[in-house]
Amino acid sequence: MKIVFQQTELEKTLKDVVRMIPTVAKTDMHQFVRITADRAQNRVEFVTTSHEAAIHRNVVDTQIQSPVTIYESGACLLSARKLLDIVKHATDVVQLSMKKNSFDVTISFGNSESDIHGLDPSTFVPYQNDPQQTHRVDVTALNLRSLLGSTLYACSDSETRPALTGLNFVVKDDGTLVATGTDGLRLARADAPGQVEGQAGGNLTIPKDPLHSLAAILPKDEDEMVHLELGSSVLVATWDDEGTRFVMRSLNEAYPNVDSIIPKSTKIQIRVSRSEFLEACHLLVLFSEDVENRKIRVDFENGVMRLSIHSKQTGKSFWDVPILECNAQDIDPMMFNIRNWLDLLKVSNTQEIEIGINGPNLPVIIHSVETTAMALIAPVLQASYAKESQSA
């Protein structure tokens, strides 16, 4: 194998690869990148994997002003971080060449030459889908990024229920991609229009960490299509004419049926400004240094939604959020964990939200006025309303 890269292209590609490598790798193989040069196909493929995901990046030999020139085909398996650290010192072109009868690679640039120990590339086997069990849907980068941003915050951090640490994806018959996340106390759901290729279907739950990595590397061109493949245990996202291929393993745990907890209707609907609500939460969270003091009280009176907090350590504060629209007058006060509201309001990209209420001890449902995104937040239970909650 003998390849010559433009330094900027090689460094950029390796940075995308290293982003996938966990800080504490479960095996040494998760710290390596497999580089395969195919002169016949005029491309070099970079592949790395963690215990949850794998990324494939292709650099194409375009012949004219090419980011890479392939002189000899071949493959190597090298430490990704070590290779990146070396390449950062180059300023122009970087040559990678395999040593004969060895897995070691020589890295040459400027007045420097380094040998880096490698492993047998045939021992590296990335995840892949069974083509016979794959459902495909295409969505724009803009819509996919928005869908992930609207739902990932609601996933659980606890391993007590592993399925809740991921985002559940379902493809409807009309091609709509639906994502749902919940930690048991809050829920977020959003959808994105898509174009189905072949048979509709597919239902996978993907860990949140690789999905955060996917959101970070999605195309900057908002109209570029991202091709999703939902297999029996793997979700694959590709774009840039297969230039980037991101593979994520699904969780083995069955995702709960959350549809049964989403209210079909609500007795009370309140509309408020999202930015005003968010600003109020930013102020009140300053009084919630510990878990015990994260509770805020919400009162509805005199055309405002009063958020208040009382901390024995810090003091107290309130903020009156004007109610823009409401279909009821006598509304019981409610208690919430302020962090749940902050997380929701920070990712919402709408000017107004509608809050649906069925009782002081029952989850509220939040709808975006401008989008189809929705969320649920469970209140902090109040003993004085316990009987009402049980009867409901």
306: buried, middle or exposed (CB in 10 Å: 19+, 13-18, 0-12)? middle
Q: How far apart are CA 87 and CA 105, in angstroms?
A: 13
Q: pLDDT class for 147, splitting at 50, 70, 90?
A: very high
- Per CATH, 2-123 and 132-256 having the same topology is answered yes
pLDDT per position as a tens digit, 19-72: 877 766 555 667 899 999 999 999 999 998 888 888 999 999 887 888 999 999
Ordered by start, the domain boundaries in the chain are 2-123, 132-256, 263-391
Distances (CA, A) of 276 to 121, 279, 377: 56, 5, 19
87 vs 20, more confident:
87
What are residue 186's DSSP bridge partners?
377
Q: What distance, in Å, lies between the first and last C-alpha atoms of the chain?
A: 69
pLDDT tens digits along 222-279: 899 999 999 888 999 999 877 899 999 999 889 999 998 899 999 999 999 999 999 9
Neighbours of 255 (CB within 10 A): 19
The CATH number fitting domain 263-391, selected from 3.10.150.10, 3.50.50.60, 1.10.472.50, 1.10.4030.10? 3.10.150.10
Instruction: Fold for 2-123, please state it.
Output: DNA Polymerase III; Chain A, domain 2 (3.10.150)
Regarding beta strands 135-140 and 105-109, do their DSSP bridges make them parallel or antiparallel, or are they unpaired? unpaired
In terms of phi and psi (left: phi > 0; alpha: psi -120 to 50; beta: otherwise), the region of 146 is alpha
Instruction: Give me the mean pLDDT over the 197-221 stretch.
Output: 87
Question: What does the alpha-carbon distance between residue 60 and residue 255 come to, in Å, rounded to a whole number?
Answer: 40
Architecture per CATH, domain 132-256, reads as Roll (3.10)
